[in-house]
Amino acid sequence: MRSRSARPGRQNDAVTDANPLGRWEPASPTEVRGLLESVDAPWWVAGGHAIEFAAGAAFREHGDVDVLLLRRDQLAVQHALPTWEWWAADPPGTLRAWAPGEILPPEVHDIWCRPGPDRPWSFQFMLDETEGDEWVSRRDRRIRRPIPGLGRVNGDGVPYLVPEIQLFYKSFGLRPKDEQDFTAVLPVLTAEQRHWLHDALLLARGRHPWLERLAV
């Protein structure tokens, strides 16, 4: 779940050099756990790492690390890492500084962060919506799940997004790595997970190449 098409605005010359995005040196999921241990809100490692945790084995390289955070809890991460630098994809397709204490507008879903202006990007937060005690997909508000059912915890204590929800987001891109992730984790999906993803794809997409493979 990510958007790597953003480009920084002109507010900070440190990220407008030869590489306009600045370089990535992603934290490991275990490092993310340590950095966010004081966050008083739920969060989950997402993206390809979440798929690998569900599959039980690493099977591809990762250029970054994504973390799912509920929009309502966005300021909790600023409070946990007050000396870090934060950039928001606002408007989508650009990056601009996220000011301390600022509530981001609803159209902003991506936040990039790093320890300082001359440091590489460490990880990216993906903001998702809620309604009451339910997670609500920003792709289709009809797709919902009770918040406690969004994640699991791996053997190292890292919370991660359940694979069926991560695959739902990946289904909109269908990049080679999305197909690779789907193929790798499909054998370990339970019947309940397959049914959920099948029904979510059918509702949100109507037709999708994964539907037949999800049939139980």
Return d(Cα 43, Cα 37) in angstroms, integer. Answer: 10
Q: What is the pLDDT along the chain (216 residues), one digit of tens a residue?
A: 544 445 444 334 334 333 466 889 999 999 999 999 999 999 999 999 999 999 999 999 998 999 999 999 999 999 999 999 999 998 877 899 999 999 999 999 999 999 999 999 999 999 999 999 999 999 999 999 999 999 999 999 999 999 999 999 999 999 999 999 999 999 999 999 999 999 999 999 999 999 999 986
Phi/psi at 77 (nearest 5 deg)?
-75, -35
Strand (E) or helix (H) holding 166? helix 163-170
Strands (E) in the chain, as ranges, are 7-8, 43-45, 66-70, 85-88, 94-97, 110-114, 123-131, 134-136, 144-146, 151-153, 159-161
The answer, as to whether pTM is greater than 0.85, is yes
User: Helices 163-170 & 47-55, crossing angle to 10 degrees?
Assistant: 140
The hierarchical CATH code for the domain 7-163 is 3.30.460
- What pLDDT score was predicted for residue 20? 63
Return d(Cα 66, Cα 155) in angstroms, integer. Answer: 19
Q: Give me the residue spans of the domains in the chain.
A: 7-163
Amino acid at 209: P
CB 92 within 8 A of CB 148: no
CB 135 within 8 A of CB 128: yes
